[in-house]
Amino acid sequence: MITVTALKWVPPFAAGQVRDHRVRWVLNEAGWDYEVDLMDPKGLEADLYRAEQPFGQVPVMRETGRPTLFESGAIVLDVAERSGRLWPADADQQALVRSWVVAALNSVEPFLMNLAEVDVFLRDPEHKRLRRPGVVATAKQRLERLSAALGSQSYLVGDMFTAADLMMSSVLKIAGGTELLDDFQNLAAFCDRCFARPAHRKAVADQRQDIAQYGPEDMGWDPALFASVN
Ligand X SMILES: N[C@@H](CCC(=O)N[C@@H](CS)C(=O)NCC(=O)O)C(=O)O
At closest approach, how far in Å is the CB of 59 from ligand X? 6
**Residue closer to ligand X, measured from CB, 52 or 81:** 52
**Residue closer to ligand X, measured from CB, 160 or 219:** 219
User: Nearest to ligand X by Cβ — which residue?
Assistant: 57
Contact window for ligand X (CB under 6 A) among 30-38, 69-77, 84-92, 148-156: 69-77
Spatial separation of the C-alpha atoms in residues 206 and 211, rounded to whole Å: 9
Task: Check binding of 43 to ligand X (CB under 6 A).
Answer: no
Contact window for ligand X (CB under 6 A) among 53-61, 117-125, 170-178, 201-209: 53-61
117's CB contacts (< 8 A; 6+ apart) are none
**Residue closer to ligand X, measured from CB, 154 or 195:** 195
**Residue closer to ligand X, measured from CB, 57 or 94:** 57
Sequence-ordered strand ranges (E) for 40-179: 60-63, 69-70
Contact window for ligand X (CB under 6 A) among 25-33, 50-58, 185-193, 220-228: 50-58
At closest approach, how far in Å is the CB of 91 from ligand X? 26
Of 51, 44, 34, nearest in space to 9 by CA: 44
Determine how many CB atoms are found less than 10 A away from the CB of residue 196.
Answer: 9
Residue in 44, 102, 160, 189 binding ligand X, rule: CB under 6 A? 44
At closest approach, how far in Å is the CB of 64 from ligand X? 21
Residue in 26, 58, 77, 79 binding ligand X, rule: CB under 6 A? 58
Look at the alpha carbons of 195, 178, 7, 76 in this order and tell me if their dihedral is positive or negative. positive
Classified as helix, coil or strand, 100 is helix
Residue in 72, 162, 169, 207 binding ligand X, rule: CB under 6 A? 72
Spatial separation of the C-alpha atoms in residues 198 and 202, rounded to whole Å: 6
Cis peptide before 110 (omega within 30 of 0): no
Sequence-ordered strand ranges (E) for the chain: 2-7, 35-39, 60-63, 69-70
Interacting residue ranges for ligand X, rule: CB under 6 A: 18-19, 44, 56-59, 71-73
